[in-house]
Amino acid sequence: MKLLVTRPIPDQATARLRAEPGVETTVLEESAAMDRAVLLDGAAGADVILALLTERMDGELFDLSPNLRMVANMAVGFDNVDIRAASARGIWVTNTPGVLDGATADLAMALLLAAARRLPEAERFLRAGRYRRWGPMLLTGQEVHGRTLGILGMGRIGEAVARRARLGFGMEILYWDERGRPDLEQELGVRRTDLDTLLGAADFVSIHLPLTGDTAGLIDAARLARMKPSAVLVNTARGPIVDEAALAAALRSGAIWAAGLDVFEREPEVHPDLLELDNAVLLPHIASASIPTRLAMAQLAVDNVLALHRGEDPPTPVVRGTR
């Protein structure tokens, strides 16, 4: 089996691949993976591709890879993969669910706190030598404990955020999801509501939705206008769910208090207006970037690859292939 790994992954995971008899592993360099021509060339002879969410796996690539049997995505999301095209060609698609829930939830809470209490702004203030004396109105921010958090998408990560917010910070939890979670409603006292009601009532809104045709552009100017002027928006899901130009305008005008973003609409590009705003906390897509979590993601992707190689069903299929 010829395996293409689209960029370096943790050494322990790579070692498992290289130790597997009959697996010929090629790992692209970090910079090479961003070059579409290099990616297509490397994929042409591959039986399996272990891909990252930054690599587009589409019909063009599949047609140039006649032997391709699987795309093993090292991510829980798979919006970088054309699922319809893969399914039509009998190509397996797998992902890495479950192993990054905690790390992502931790970072969502970190962004919430940092934006509410103006932590990056305060650090820049101090490092610039502007801190001369304490004052009662110096860099005042929003309270977190006991406030209302609205969660968009109550899947595994949304649930992990709800637990941290409810049990750790005593927050009231509203959620919007097409599926109800009566288990969490009973256990944690979370309340399901419609999107407009949530946006109007929440002090904090945290996004944990997949990127689909329905969720792209979901948080636009009209929906931002429904939020409180003291509200904070957090996005650790997918950038295109939020209209960045509208968000920047809302932040600049004071229509909402602050935002914490780990993902961006045209990643890795960031809307230039956001870069100018002190009330936008911006991170380079690091929600799952704890050492144990990234290793667990890589190992689960490798589990999928090796299962296919050994004639077994991959453990976390998104599309079941026929090749």
Burial 285-298 (b: 16+ CB within 10 A, else e): bebbebeebbbbbb
- Name the residue among 241, 287, 268 with its Cα closest to residue 33: 268
Q: What are phi and psi of 310, to 5 degrees?
A: -90, 5
State the alpha helices, DSSP H only, in the chain: 11-19, 36-43, 59-63, 83-88, 101-116, 119-127, 156-163, 169, 182-188, 195-201, 221-225, 244-253, 272-275, 291-309
CA distance 40 to 312: 27
Is 238 a known active-site residue?
yes
Cβ–Cβ under 8 Å, residues 257 and 282 = no
Q: Which of 16, 191, 252, 285 is catalytic?
A: 285
The CA distance from 5 to 48, in Å, is 9
Options 118, 166, 238, 294, the catalytic residue: 238
Respond yes or no: is residue 285 known to be catalytic.
yes
- Cα gap 35→6, rounded to integer Å: 11
What does the DSSP assignment read for 88-142? HTT-EEE---STTHHHHHHHHHHHHHHHHTTHHHHHHHHHTT---S--TTTT---
Q: How many residues make up the chain in this entry?
A: 323
Assess whether 208 carries a catalytic annotation: no
Q: Are strands 92-94 and 148-152 parallel, antiparallel or unpaired?
A: unpaired
Distances (CA, A) of 94 to 70, 154, 235, 299, 307: 8, 22, 24, 13, 11
Kindly list the catalytic residues: 238, 267, 285
